[in-house]
Amino acid sequence: MNLILQDIILNAIFAAIPAVGFAMLFNVPKSALKYCALGGAIVYTLREIFMDLNLAIELATFLASMIIGLIALYWSRKNLVPRPIYTVASIIPMIPGTYAFTAMISLVDMNTHGVSSELIEIFIESGLKSISILGAISFGLALPSLYFMRYKRPIV
């Protein structure tokens, strides 16, 4: 049990690093960097927990994005900072880079070595997974703000 907790904490720390780096790249105010780091750690940890509960990566990503969307709405109203400052940096650890890279490499291999059914399968599978994860991130971030802003509901 202690090893599992240690692994979760280590992954959360490593997820916070690119979130802060991305935020710094786009000149996020210093006061918001700690929230970006916390958001990146939260969203990556939640996605891993949901995947450990045998949810598909797309659904786990959607749920984690929705939760960070809700949290970022609270932070943005509390600190009077636009919501994307927190959400955009927070979701960076969930970008499906491996799937997109695999799809592109299989496309290059098809161009170099010729088309085969294996390469087409890898390209389609990786490409669709990548697009699905990006869609899950987009909808997960958009739904909470649409719900609370459209119906003017208070956030606790």
pLDDT digits (tens, 9 = 90+) for 91-147: 999 999 999 999 999 999 998 888 889 999 999 999 999 999 999 999 999 998 888
pLDDT, tens digit, 9 for 90 and up, residues 30-44: 999 999 999 999 999
Mean pLDDT of 59-85: 92
Please give the helix or strand (H or E) that residue 112 lies within, else none.
Answer: helix 97-113
146 inside domain: yes
Q: Which domain holds residue 141?
A: 2-150
Please give the torsion angle defined by the CA atoms of residues 145, 151, 152 and 156, in that order, rounded to the nearest 10 degrees. Answer: -70
119 inside domain: yes
155 inside domain: no
156 inside domain: no
88 inside domain: yes
If one counts the domains in the chain, the total is 1
79 inside domain: yes
Residue 97: CB atoms within 10 A of its CB come to 10
100 inside domain: yes
CA–chain centroid gap for 131, Å, is 13
The pTM assigned to this predicted structure is: 0.88
124 inside domain: yes
